[in-house]
Structure 1
Amino acid sequence: MWVRQIHRVKVEGGLMDGTDVKFSSGFNCIIGARGTGKSTLMKLICFALGNLPAEEKATRQFLKEIDQVLGNGRVSVWFVNQLDNQRILQRTPGRYPRLFDLEGKILQEGCELQFNFEAYHQGELENLLDNGPSALLDMLDKTVADPDSLLLQARDNLNRRKQIQKAYEAKAEQLNFWQEKMEQQSLLQKELDCLDLQEPERRLAAIEKEKGLLDFWEKFLVSRLRSLKSLLDGDYPTCRLHNGEFINPDLIQQLEETINNCLEVRHGQLQEVIKVLENGLDSITCLRALLDERHQICEEEIRHTLQQQGFNKAEEARRQRVFLLGQLGELIGCEEECNRFRRQLDKLDQQKRQLLHESEQLWNQIVSRRQQSIDHINYELDGNPYLKYRPASGREEYRNFLFGLLQGKFSRKLIDGIVRCFSPQQLIDIVARADEDLLTQQTGVTSQEARQLLWLLGTQPHFGAVTECELQDQVHLYYQPDHESIPISSFNLSRGMQCSLLLPIILLGRQQMLLGDQFEDNLDNAFIYELIIPRIQNIKLHRQLILVTHNPNIVVAGGADRIIVTQSTGNQAGIKMQGKLNDEYIKGEIIALLEGGREAFHQRIEYLGVG
């Protein structure tokens, strides 16, 4: 949800207690001496509407400043949203905001609220390009219709994929554990098969196998019995809904009876299952006694037979067989565990593939909307300056991820080539297909290097997390001094020239209100008058502007519809006066604050001969 217009701002408590400002639907200018609360008023508006800095550190500092300025006071904002609904939003530091309609009926409270609009605080614009192409894109996202919805969905999708990947890696580690057990089981079985056993030894092997089978199922039933007893101990015995006043006691009575019936049946069924398991364990105990008795008789007969035959080697083989069978008995159930974890991994893989498909669709929409917005901006700017949009071109996180996996095994040049040629999803597909040819053709690696790379990536469960590496969209701003010269990147221009290129983009006609704090500080007056003033005069007809400024050209030549003058007594700041540009008392404040006073203003006119 975004803000179309702000009608009024009222501050109660704190440094600016008693401030009550009314704004025009067009162009509003806030003027005043330094330290009189102009920037503070802008920050209070942003605070009330939930428009906070993107970075966590900057947000903490911003809220700390608000707390110092407002204390336990509150700020109220009367505004119009994108649906033309008039609302009042009240906010106090440390508390949730409260949203009202014009009649004072509360519409929402107890949760965070955020209403978007374009806001540029003092010094923010000139430092924008220092943060790279992604920061410029964040600024341009404010011009896209409802960008936050898609971006939030994409962020939520990414977080869910990260959770699935984490679970996948944990399950894969457990699967590896059981696969190692299966390999150990296979080796033991082969070793057992190689023993030269005669008939007596084979009978002993059968005895050990019977013992192992009995042990496994006894442990299994004991484990399930403990789980059911724990579930029964923690269950609700009955449902009692009393000591309360109900509007519909008859329905509540039916609810209580229904729940108690369900609990009674469930309790009875659990007890029946527990009884069945206990009976099963009793039967196993009886069977164990019978088997032990028979095994003892068989073992004595076999031992007597071996002694009569004098098979010394057979006795040694028997002892070895007993040892091997004991180890094999401990490994019963490995295959079932492996299959169970494989099924879990397949399920997680399917869930992640579905999320990746949804993410691709979301980003296609985001890229399309961004491209449309940038095309419109370039059209409005008539190609100079102009913006160049490069989707998924910021790959530093992707590069660092691969470098962490492959460091010390492959060169940085090879890793850079992979990052440049393939997206994370493409690389996943190449590894899954073991596509050695495509890898060698695109990156120039040798066949041996390609095979090593595919094997190394394919055997690491953490490699699947590569699809969660964010590829950042980037926007580059260019300026062409004349039609024949080579376009110059904004990063190679002076601070003033950078601001000169950014301001025309900001001052394009859009429906969201624009709030700016002295973003003309690095611009010369000629540029302001020739380029900025005409844009202000044009967009104020259909877009609300609230600008803090020290520049008289912006106020006067821009034709401000409303002037707000701030003042400070040292301990208290607030509004000295507010009115229209042609009001005499407002003219006096403009001359005093922006022109240095009437005498200084007349001296300049007389000296320059322009009176």
Structure 2
Amino acid sequence: MWIVEKIEISGGFLPGLSVSIPQGLTCIIGARGSGKSTLAESVRFALSGMSAAPKHCADLIQANLAGGALVTITALADGSNRYTIKRGLKQSPVLLTSDGRAINTVDLDRGTFLPLDAYSSLEIEAIADEALGSKRRNLLDELRSEQIRSIHLSLADSARALETNADRIRTAQRTIVDLTEQIEELGDVRARLSALAPSDRESAEDFVRLSRQQQLDQREIAKLDSAERDLKTLEGSLERLRKEAQGVFAARLTEEQSANADALRRYEKLLAASTAPVEKHLSAIQARIRGAQGALAQARQDVAEIHTSHAGDLARLNALNQAASEQARLRASLEQQVAKLEALEQQRVEIHTELETLLERRKFLKTDHILMRDQVSTMRDEVASELQHEAGERVRIRVMRNADYMSYQEMLEAGLKGARVRNQSEILATLMVLRPEQLAQLIQANDLDSFDELTHFGAERSRKILDAFRESVDPLALEITPIEDRIAIELNVATAGRPHFKDASDLSRGQKCTALLPILLARRDNPLIIDQPEDNLDNHFIFETVVNAVQRMKKRRQMIFITHNANIPVLAEAELVLVMTSDGRVGAVERRGSVDECREQIIDLLEGGREAFALRSKRYAAG
């Protein structure tokens, strides 16, 4: 846990600003254009850089911190470790310890050293509006970032293995098609050879033997080429593994200012000590690979001499055949074609066997890939359960596994473009019922009858659609199209009686924030900045959901709210109120203090002035 202790800004729109921030709730109020959002976004900028902010917030920082402005944040971590962060638009961030030592090993832009949650009202609405997509998933994934990052790295390796497997399957399939065409081109050469009168040439047997050997020679060269490519690929994989191992064993486990630093250094040394043995084994494997490459080169040299001899013998027999009778020449030609046919048939059998092995291997790869994706879903379930416990009964958060079909839908839409059929929206809805791997099998097999039986499109439309998919959709890519989890964030909109939950994307603008805020408040215990969370909310929802959640959570985390609604600082009992003002050129803090100390400014800015406040109170009392 950590807190922002102090915010200082020199230059820019808020020159000379210096405010200390307490634990609990701080509310920043003021007229529009007084610098409230600039103050909040300056904290996000100092801690995480420009990449952490959406465009409208980044534009605000670019405009209001121009001219060499410097933001300085003092932070207190774990109750005892104090850090200072300094950042300007055109200078690299500086991270200092309490005794002034610079820390150069931390990348602040990653946002993980002193993690901050910061949201504008537009960002909150964007999360609420995105029923399908990554924004809601990120809300959960960030709370298990290290574990999920590790799984995603494994998933990336798995995806590469599946793609390599798919490339080899495609190559095998193309080779089989090519071999089949060559076999069909040769036709009935065996029958034509059998129909010829027996040859009286003693060289016929030798000619057949040498013709067959020529086919075998060509296959030997092809296998040598394949082995050399595989060794080269293996060597590249080994080099990548070496670099990854170096990164893993050089990992820094310690935080220099942590009380656990000495204990963790011993494990750093243990990790580092593993580098040499691993490097030794990797070097030994590399030496083996290079030895194998040398052996292949020698094998290529040896067989080259033998192949040259075979080619010479065959050339001499061909020369003899030139002088032979027409029938002898025909026999020789047919015998050569038969030899080629037998070699092609044998090669096709071998490629078929290889293809079956690749397809079997793909089953295991897909199973492992699915299991890893399930691990991510399980973690999301755990996070959703924890958030649900903290967020209360008014809001509901659920992980709907494999329910985000956006990638699948986009692939189908692209495939349908060439189908030339009407009512594509209706067709797409029907196709979405089919699982990706199910549709991939139908495309691969060109199974028109089963496709029509499942979709009821009719024979002609089914043919057009399936033909379009076979032309533009790769079934091997389709079958592993990721179906992501959908994160349902729902609000109980019933005011009484039986609960009625609606997804945030179907709510009014005000209710969207009502659904998201309890979750954002409950996510973590690091500081939270929200710019105008009450935009579009009515006061009933603010009190019932927002204020209650803030009161419950402010003991656990520091919160900074920019607000135009008096209910938040007053009813949530803000520890500090900052009143901002501006003369149009620069902004400043006009007053700071408790709710009671800033009472007049709260009434004036948030209640419309004392007269309006008194009039409302009188009317309420009269009612």
Name the counterpart of 1:63. 58
Is 1:31–2:14 an aligned residue pair?
no
Asked if 1:547 is matched to 2:561, the reply is yes
For 1:213 and 1:140, the matched residues in 2 are separated by 61
Structure 1 gap segments, 5+ residues each:
232-261, 307-311
Work out the CA distance in 1 between the residues paired with 2:343 and 2:107.
Answer: 60
Instruction: Quote the offset at 1:514 in angstroms.
Output: 2.6
Is contact 2:577-2:592 (8 Å) kept? Answer: yes
Shift of 1:180: 2.0
Matches of 1:264 and 1:68 in 2, distance apart? 59
Task: Please tell me the residue identity of whatever aligns with 1:468.
Answer: T
Question: Is the CA contact (8 Å cut-off) linking 2:151 and 2:376 kept in structure 1?
Answer: yes
Distance 1:265 1:560, change over 3 A: closer
Kept in 2, the 8 Å contact 1:31–1:566? The answer is yes
Letter in 2 for 1:177: R
1:86–1:314 CA distance, 2 compared to 1 (3 A): same
Any conservation in 1 of the 2:397–2:487 contact (CA below 8 Å)?
Answer: no
Q: Report if aligned partners of 2:408, 2:482 keep a CA contact under 8 Å in 1.
A: yes
The structural deviation recorded for 1:67 is 3.0
| Rounded Cα–Cα distance in structure 1 between residues aligned with 2:351 and 2:432 | 38
Structure 1 Cα separation of the partners of residues 411 and 47 of structure 2: 38
Give 2:72's match in structure 1, choosing from 71, 76, 79: 76
Residue number in structure 2 paired with 1:101? 97
Q: Residue deviations 1:45-104, cap 9 Å, x none?
A: 2233338788xxx74554344333334544333335579854444444477655443333
* 1:201–1:558 CA distance, 2 compared to 1 (3 A): farther
**Structure 1 73/397 Cα, relative in aligned 2: closer, same or farther at 3 Å?**
same
Matched position secondary structure for 1:468: coil
User: Which residue number in structure 1 is paired with residue 403 of structure 2?
Assistant: 393
Q: Deviations over 1:461-512 (max 9, x none)?
A: 5244333232341313331132168666666654344445554555559634
After superposition, give the CA deviation of every residue in 1:278-315 in whole Å (9 maximum; x if it has no partner): 46544554554455445545x37xx55x4xxxxx6665
Unpaired stretches in structure 2, ≥5 consecutive residues = 233-284
Give, in angstroms, the shift of residue 561 of structure 1: 1.0
For residue 29 of structure 1, report the CA deviation from its aligned partner: 1.1
Deviation of 1:575 after TM superposition, in Å, equals 3.5
Say which one has the larger Rg. 1
CA contact (8 A) 1:150 1:366 kept: no
User: Which residue number corresponds to residue 148 of structure 1?
Assistant: 145
Structure 1 position 548, deviation (Å): 0.8
Q: 1:373 aligns with which of 378, 387, 390?
A: 387
SS in structure 2 of the partner of residue 6 of structure 1: strand
Partner of 2:525: 511
- Distance in 2, matches of 1:274 and 1:503, equals 67
Does residue 133 in structure 1 map to residue 131 in structure 2? Answer: yes
Paired residues in the alignment total 558
Alignment partner, residue 173 of structure 2: 176
Distance 1:209 1:516, change over 3 A: same
Quote the offset at 1:554 in angstroms.
2.5
Q: 1:35 Cα deviation (Å)?
A: 1.1
Match of 1:519, SS state, is coil
Give, in whole Å, the separation in 2 of the partners of 1:441 and 1:578. Answer: 72
> What does residue range 334-413 of structure 1 map to in structure 2 within 5 Å?
350-374=364-388, 377=391, 380-381=392-393, 384=394, 386=396, 390-402=400-412, 408=419
- CA, structure 1 residues 89+492, in 2 after alignment: closer, same or farther (shift >3 Å)? same
Q: Which amino acid in the other structure matches residue 103 of structure 1?
A: D
Bigger drift between 431-440 and 63-72 goes to 431-440
CA contact (8 A) 2:441 2:475 kept: no
Q: One-letter code of the match for 1:210?
A: L
Matched, 1:474 2:503: no
Is 1:121 the counterpart of 2:123? The answer is no
Of 589-598 and 179-188, deviating more is: 589-598
CA contact (8 A) 2:525 2:556 kept: yes
Q: Deviations over 1:359-402 (max 9, x none)?
A: 2222223224324533553xx23xx4555654333334334434
- Which residue, 33, 44, 47 being the options, matches 1:46? 44
Matched AA of 1:120: Y
Amino acid of the structure 1 residue aligned with 2:405: R
Distance in 1 (alpha carbons) for counterparts of 2:441 and 2:288: 52
The 8 Å contact of residues 31 and 550 in structure 1, kept in 2 or not, is answered as: yes
474-483 or 77-86: bigger deviation: 77-86
For residue 19 of structure 1, what is the aligned residue in structure 2?
17
Residues 462-501 of structure 1 aligned to structure 2 (within 5 Å): 462-475=475-488, 476-483=490-497, 494-501=508-515
Q: 1:30·1:564 contact (CA, 8 Å) conserved in 2?
A: yes
Q: Equivalent residue of 1:467, what SS? A: coil
Partner Cα distance (2:365, 2:350) in 1 = 23
Counterpart-to-counterpart distance in 2, 1:128 and 1:267: 53
- Which residue of structure 1 lines up, in the alignment, with residue 271 of structure 2? none
